[in-house]
Amino acid sequence: MDVHHLVKMANQIGVFFESMPDREQAKADIATHLKKFWAPRMRQTIVQKMDGDETQELLPIVREAIDAHRGVLV
């Protein structure tokens, strides 16, 4: 799985939800979207690559969402 493609897709999701006034809800919604629409392998890859510091291009809100909701994503 190409991590750069996953980062690009995750950032697109992040841009959409970042405009929400409630940042905590936005992070929860990002995680929910990833859980609903990404295959388990995709979610596991982005989490593993983030842990390995291979996803520097992730938007802060996406990184925060993955960190905060890691339990439902892996």
Asked if pLDDT for residue 54 goes beyond 90, the answer is: no
d(CA 15, CA 25) in angstroms, rounded, equals 14
In the structure encoding, which two tokens stand for residue 42, read together? 């995709």
- Angstrom distances, CA of residue 52 to CA of 24, 37, 48, 71: 25, 23, 6, 18
pLDDT digits (tens, 9 = 90+) for 3-41: 999 999 999 999 999 999 999 999 999 999 999 999 999
pLDDT of residue 71: 92
User: DSSP letters of the chain?
Assistant: --HHHHHHHHHHHHHHHHTSS-HHHHHHHHHHHHHHHS-HHHHHHHHHHHHTT--TTS-HHHHHHHHHTHHHH-
